[in-house]
Amino acid sequence: MISDFRSDTLTKPTPAMLQAMFSAEVGDDVFGEDPSITALELKAAVLFGKEAALFCPSGTMANQIAIKAHTSSPGELICDQLSHVYLYEVGGIAFHSGLSVSLTASPLGIITPEDILARINPETDLHKPITELVVLENTCNKGGGSCYELERMQAIGKTCREKGLKLHLDGARIFNAAVAKGYSPIEIGAEFNSISICLSKGLGAPVGSLLLGETGFIRRAKRLRKLFGGGMRQAGYLAAAGIYALDHHIDRLAEDHSRARILGAALSELHYIEEVFPVETNIVIARLNASINIPDFLKNLSEMGVKAVPFGPQLIRFVTHLDVDDRHIDYAISVLKKI
Ligand SMILES: *Cc1c(COP(=O)(O)O)cnc(C)c1O
């Protein structure tokens, strides 16, 4: 048995999703003629109460397009030190947009309005780049799938509007947060100028992300997508998987969360585990005793059919997803107990 917890990006399309892909109507999307992509963009925009949306090949591209479309160099954006846009997008903030970054150090990556207020550069100071954009990540991957409360997002939205800052949400796993916390996409959409969502994580589509925002913003984003080489042609086959995922795979995320809680609780009982981050969604991060060599540990684990990834000093990460069921959890726990 293989229990693969390395990432929720590993899922393969279900037979029903594949069927939807096979029967997709397609056209050339650079000409604006792919009905499946158009339908997916409209569906996602309506879901979050935004005017328009743009289908992108990856979440990284959607985030980087958003950052560039919202800002002008020399400027600065505020995000947490744990954020994906800062850590895992190859320095794209500097490379694509020529911005500097002011990092917050908020617990589990969840920023406060005060964190933002403390980092806004006064426009009168000629030494400083102008603060233009704030990026939140919900759920926060490096925070162990930590979630924002709706009230916190609303308070940050208000702060950004008052201070004239744009606010982008890296919502790669926003549906995990919405299901865990019980807020609606419309409530989330109201607070942000733009939102990126991943179809290829917990929702189980093979490829694709969406960027959502106002019409003028999405028009600029579309040109940037072409600049980045992300204008796709008959990608409606992929969009059809995204439509299927939005229709069928959101509510079931609660199952991933309860399995993650079971795994997290079992991990916290083990003698070689020092700490398990609070399990709020589908990510479980555990800190191992200093005596344990992480690469050796993960190699042993993998040889016994349980896969996880290293995630920082003495940290390992497990992610539950569509292709993990109760048997995978039971098996993993039995292996972790005897290793
Ligand atoms: C996965 C992820 C992304 C985008 O990743 P891609 O692999 O480029 O699709 C962005 N932000 C977060 C928090 C993620 O976990």
Residue 322's pLDDT is 97
Nearest Cα to Cα of residue 137 among 281, 21, 324: 281
Cβ atoms of 176 and 257 closer than 8 Å:
yes
Residues 311, 298: Cα–Cα separation, whole Å: 11
Using alpha carbons, list the distances in angstroms from residue 164 to 120, 161, 209, 240: 11, 5, 27, 37
Specify the pTM: 0.98
Residues 91-138 pLDDT 10s: 999 999 999 999 999 999 999 999 999 999 998 999 999 999 999 999
Residue 316 β-bridge partners: 286, 310
Residue 285's pLDDT is 98
Whole-number Å distance, alpha carbon 251 to ligand 1 midpoint, is 21
Residues 179-224 pLDDT 10s: 999 999 999 999 999 999 999 999 999 999 999 999 999 999 999 9
Residue 122's pLDDT is 93
Residues 307, 189: Cα–Cα separation, whole Å: 35
With a 6 A CB cut-off, is 34 part of the ligand 1 pocket? no
How remote is the C-alpha of 88 from its chain's centroid? Answer: 11
Task: Choose one of 93, 141, 228 to mutate for the ligand 1 pocket test, by most ligand atoms within 8 angstroms of C-beta.
Answer: 141
Which CATH class for the 10-248 domain?
alpha beta
Residues 23-51 pLDDT 10s: 999 999 999 999 999 999 999 999 999 99
Q: How confident is the model at residue 306 (pLDDT cuts 50, 70, 90)?
A: very high
Nearest CA to ligand 1 atom 3: 59
Segment 222-239 mean pLDDT: 98
With a 6 A CB cut-off, is 170 part of the ligand 1 pocket? yes
Average pLDDT, the chain: 98
Residues 242-256 pLDDT 10s: 999 999 999 999 999
Q: Give me the helices (H) in 182-307, please.
A: 185-189, 215-227, 236-248, 253-268, 294-303
With a 6 A CB cut-off, is 141 part of the ligand 1 pocket? yes
Task: Choose one of 60, 63, 176 to mutate for the ligand 1 pocket test, by most ligand atoms within 8 angstroms of C-beta.
Answer: 60
How many other β-carbons are positioned within 10 Å of the β-carbon of residue 112? 15
Residue 334's pLDDT is 98
With a 6 A CB cut-off, is 102 part of the ligand 1 pocket? no
With a 6 A CB cut-off, is 257 part of the ligand 1 pocket? no
Residues 37, 263: Cα–Cα separation, whole Å: 37
Residue 316's pLDDT is 98
With a 6 A CB cut-off, is 58 part of the ligand 1 pocket? yes
- What radius of gyration do the chain's Cα atoms show? 20
Domain ranges of the chain: 10-248, 252-338
Whole-number Å distance, alpha carbon 334 to ligand 1 midpoint, is 31
Q: How confident is the model at residue 262 (pLDDT cuts 50, 70, 90)?
A: very high
Whole-number Å distance, alpha carbon 60 to ligand 1 midpoint, is 6
Residues 51, 136: Cα–Cα separation, whole Å: 21
Task: Ligand 1, residue 58: give the atom nearest the CA.
Answer: 9
Q: Collapsing DSSP states into helix, strand and coil, what is residue 157?
A: helix
At the fourth CATH level, the homologous superfamily of domain 252-338 is Aspartate Aminotransferase, domain 1 (3.90.1150.10)
User: Sign of the C-alpha dihedral, residues 318, 320, 325, 329?
Assistant: positive
Using alpha carbons, list the distances in angstroms from residue 171 to 21, 185, 194: 24, 11, 10
What is the pairing mode between strands 130-137 and 100-104?
A: unpaired
With a 6 A CB cut-off, is 60 part of the ligand 1 pocket? yes
Same fold: 10-248 with 252-338: no
Type of residue numbered 291? S
Identify the DSSP state of 140: B
Residue 74's pLDDT is 94
Identify the DSSP state of 146: B
Task: Choose one of 79, 198, 319 to mutate for the ligand 1 pocket test, by most ligand atoms within 8 angstroms of C-beta.
Answer: 198
Cβ atoms of 236 and 55 closer than 8 Å:
no
